[in-house]
Amino acid sequence: MKYQFHDNFKKAYFKLPKKIKKSVDSRFMLFAKSPFEISLNNHPLLGEYKGYRSINITGNYRAIYKELRGDEVIFVKIGTHSELYG
């Protein structure tokens, strides 16, 4: 799986605490190898995010992405559950 990052994602990522950034990096390595690994809880979204998918980073942090073509995706947002959906 190949992935890229939207500018909004990059800005939010750099504001994250170090511990969360490490979790993000680890989860993305797992995502690249196995995007539907059960621990990622990869699932489609509804409502304003219809057409996007989400993966779990930690118990509270999520990353939202959109499938592009083939095995390419773009991550568009990252944040806590309440930041993204609240």
Give the model confidence (pLDDT) of 28-75 as tens digits.
Answer: 999 999 999 999 999 999 999 999 999 999 999 999 999 998 889 999
DSSP 38: G
Q: How far apart are CA 23 and CA 80, in angstroms?
A: 13
The model's pTM is: 0.94
Asked if pLDDT for residue 1 goes beyond 80, the answer is no
CATH of the domain at 30: 3.30.2310.20
Instruction: Give the count of domains, the chain.
Output: 1
Q: Which structural domain range is residue 50 located in?
A: 2-85
β-bridge partners, 75 = 5, 65
Q: What is the pLDDT of residue 2?
A: 85
